[in-house]
Structure 1
Amino acid sequence: MRLSVAQTTVQPDPADTAALKECGRRIRALMREAREAGARLLHLPEGALSCPDKRIMSTTGPDDIGPADWDRADWTTLAEELQAIAQLAGELRLWTVVGSIHPLTPPRRPHLSLYVVSDHGEVVTRYDERLLSNTKVSHMYTPGSAPITFTVDGVRFGCAMGMEAAYPEIFLEYERLDVDCVLFSTHGPGTPVNNGPFALQAQALAAANSYWVSYAGTAQDAPNAPSGLVTPDGDWLTRCPPEPTAALATADLDLTPENHARRWRRRARSGLYTQFQAPDDPRSTDRASRTA
């Protein structure tokens, strides 16, 4: 199956109606470009539709980071843009995974999420970031609680986001859930943005779990870590240009080779080694001492 992974400029203020509409327009342009490239799925970064800045959102900021003021967010425009994205996904028959914020009933803070939009134009599931940064969980968001998986043309996907590349257990969990590819969307650890470590971790996690990892970062961070697709061997198959502009990288996920490494790791974790383990003979220490 053919996948496109994007990098795009994210906007920091969810109260800026014009900026939200521009983000929606930019996303839809990338959707059309991905479909022209033959993609069945487009993967976008964290906050592609809205990526709130902690200093803009802080009720006590910008110098002192405090609780986020979510009343200022333009939830109506966010919903309208998401609906327009879903409608176009149906028209293009293109699965689209897009980052945004998801409102909860006040006073609960929103989730930071990835919406999974099917090729029928429906939001079929949503991944909410679970392992948040200190600022995110203290002042901004409600953490998610579960992994999600979905299947496109026989390829099974999982989702991760934010700083979750720093937590191997998230990716090992998806290996146990038998995914073929993890879609990892991120924004970066602040200003100046530098996602180089996250991109490196994405490579390591792909190799350690023997599955594909799609890495979607922001255009702002492309000079450090352009978006791209990592093979189950941990190699970059394709990447966007290292320039701070919107771009796509498109490639086919090849699932035909037999994945011997993944099968062996599963066997090794199943208790295989127990049969070979035995308590040491205490006399062996005495013999070693006498020999010395």
Structure 2
Amino acid sequence: MTANRNFKRRVRARAAKTGESYTAALRHFRATPPGESMPKNTALRLSVAQLTVAPDPGDTAALRDSGEQIRRLMREAHAAGARLLHLPEGALTCPDKRVMSATGPQNIGAADWSRTDWATLADELRAITELAGELRLWTVLGSVHRLTAPRRPHLSLYVISDSGTIATRYDERMLSNTKVSHLYTPGSAPVTFTVDGVRFGCSLGMEAAFPEIFLEYERLDVDCVLFSTHGPGTPANNGPFALQAQALAAANSYWVSYAGTAQDAPNAPSGVVAPHGDWLTRCPPEPVPAIATTELDLSAENYARPWRRVARSGLYAQHQAPNDPRSLDRVNP
């Protein structure tokens, strides 16, 4: 297992250095018999979900219902052959600023986190983690992560491995004004992890509005960014985060999995965007829990991504005209 991880690390290091795809870099490490093509073995089946999120982390019954919803969707994803299930922001609990405000719903103030049922949240996360191990299903879900008082919690994505352990955690970095003022402690670093040779990055909340987050993941050589959100849910808003997810996938030439809530589905259902910017699959545009499943196939060459890396490396400087104000090329006819 260690040797296999080291081998993949060497392949990815070459791909990052040269701008090649993973498959192209792999050819330099594996001998291909004469007359045979390189095996296309870098693929992964991904399910993305939408589900109804609960606004009150102190509502024990609602927390247990959220856990049941998640485990039901995990079983559906497993039946669909998925290796990874991606769930939205606040899948376990999605605290509402008006519910949490210590000064009441009309005058939003600091969140009162003492009302949270942390014990039930821990129980539900434990049950989800155990099921992930039973199903051999990587599961990525949004919740809140408790910090030592007086620190506010993180708004997080838990990455649960197929062995039934929490492999890593991503904390939203680019918080909204309300979140950073009254609700959460911001995160500080990107997070990546690899499943079956496919490298994932994590993003959360309103971070689709910050292209630098997604460009950073391009530089970290991810194949797919898992973006979990809880949008405004108003039809007139036209799903800006979903539109931005499309644009970011196309601009960076990787997959983006967009996981929103069931409440937002009529406006922007969950789905997966291909590296060229088109939706590969989407959940139904109805306010109900659902999954959509697709295949991420890394065997196809991706010419746009290495070219952008070359273009950003200073390529154009050698072709630019000298900045001479006397040049006739700069005089309008």
Q: Same fold by TM (over 0.5)?
A: yes
**Uncovered stretches (5+) of structure 1, i.e. residues with no partner:** none
Name the Cα RMSD after superposition: 1.6
1:179-190 alignment to 2 at 5 Å? 179-189=222-232
Cα deviation code 1:168-202 (max 9, x no counterpart): 00000000000000000000137789561000000
> Does residue 1:64 correspond to 2:107, yes or no?
yes
In the alignment, the residues of structure 2 paired with residue 19 and residue 174 of structure 1 have an alpha-carbon distance, to the nearest angstrom, of 34
User: Match for residue 290 of structure 2?
Assistant: 247
Contact 2:158 2:166 in 1 (8 A): yes
Q: 2:217 aligns with which of 174, 181, 191?
A: 174
> Does residue 1:275 correspond to 2:318, yes or no?
yes
In the alignment, the residues of structure 1 paired with residue 174 and residue 152 of structure 2 have an alpha-carbon distance, to the nearest angstrom, of 15
1:15-54 alignment to 2 at 5 Å? 15-54=58-97
In the alignment, the residues of structure 1 paired with residue 256 and residue 311 of structure 2 have an alpha-carbon distance, to the nearest angstrom, of 23
Contact 1:189 1:195 in 2 (8 A): no
Cα deviation code 1:207-236 (max 9, x no counterpart): 000000000000001000000000000000
Displacement after TM superposition at 1:254 (Å): 1.3
Contact 1:188 1:195 in 2 (8 A): no
Q: Partner amino acid for 1:56?
A: V
Contact 1:132 1:163 in 2 (8 A): yes
> Does residue 1:160 correspond to 2:235, yes or no?
no
User: Match for residue 276 of structure 2?
Assistant: 233
Structure 1 stretch 186-195 or stretch 19-28: which is displaced more? 186-195
Aligned in 2, Cα 1:152/1:47: closer, same or farther, shift over 3 Å?
Answer: same
**Uncovered stretches (5+) of structure 2, i.e. residues with no partner:** 1-43
In the alignment, the residues of structure 2 paired with residue 192 and residue 134 of structure 1 have an alpha-carbon distance, to the nearest angstrom, of 23
Aligned in 2, Cα 1:224/1:273: closer, same or farther, shift over 3 Å?
Answer: same
Contact 1:7 1:247 in 2 (8 A): yes
Aligned in 2, Cα 1:274/1:69: closer, same or farther, shift over 3 Å?
Answer: same
Displacement after TM superposition at 1:115 (Å): 0.1
In the alignment, the residues of structure 1 paired with residue 247 and residue 329 of structure 2 have an alpha-carbon distance, to the nearest angstrom, of 43
Aligned in 2, Cα 1:127/1:133: closer, same or farther, shift over 3 Å?
Answer: same
In the alignment, the residues of structure 2 paired with residue 260 and residue 203 of structure 1 have an alpha-carbon distance, to the nearest angstrom, of 18
> Does residue 1:215 correspond to 2:262, yes or no?
no
In the alignment, the residues of structure 2 paired with residue 240 and residue 131 of structure 1 have an alpha-carbon distance, to the nearest angstrom, of 27
Q: 1:258 aligns with which of 262, 280, 301?
A: 301
1:29-178 alignment to 2 at 5 Å? 29-178=72-221
Contact 1:21 1:81 in 2 (8 A): yes
TM-score relative to the length of structure 1: 0.96
Contact 2:139 2:161 in 1 (8 A): yes
Aligned in 2, Cα 1:85/1:288: closer, same or farther, shift over 3 Å?
Answer: closer
Displacement after TM superposition at 1:283 (Å): 3.2
Contact 1:195 1:221 in 2 (8 A): no
Contact 1:193 1:221 in 2 (8 A): no
In the alignment, the residues of structure 1 paired with residue 145 and residue 80 of structure 2 have an alpha-carbon distance, to the nearest angstrom, of 30
Q: 1:205 aligns with which of 245, 248, 251?
A: 248
In the alignment, the residues of structure 2 paired with residue 37 and residue 262 of structure 1 have an alpha-carbon distance, to the nearest angstrom, of 30
| Identity value in percent | 79
Cα deviation code 1:141-177 (max 9, x no counterpart): 0000000000000000000010000000000000000
Aligned in 2, Cα 1:287/1:27: closer, same or farther, shift over 3 Å?
Answer: closer
In the alignment, the residues of structure 1 paired with residue 79 and residue 330 of structure 2 have an alpha-carbon distance, to the nearest angstrom, of 73
Contact 1:117 1:123 in 2 (8 A): yes
In the alignment, the residues of structure 2 paired with residue 148 and residue 50 of structure 1 have an alpha-carbon distance, to the nearest angstrom, of 21
In the alignment, the residues of structure 1 paired with residue 150 and residue 236 of structure 2 have an alpha-carbon distance, to the nearest angstrom, of 31
SS in 1 for 2:173: coil
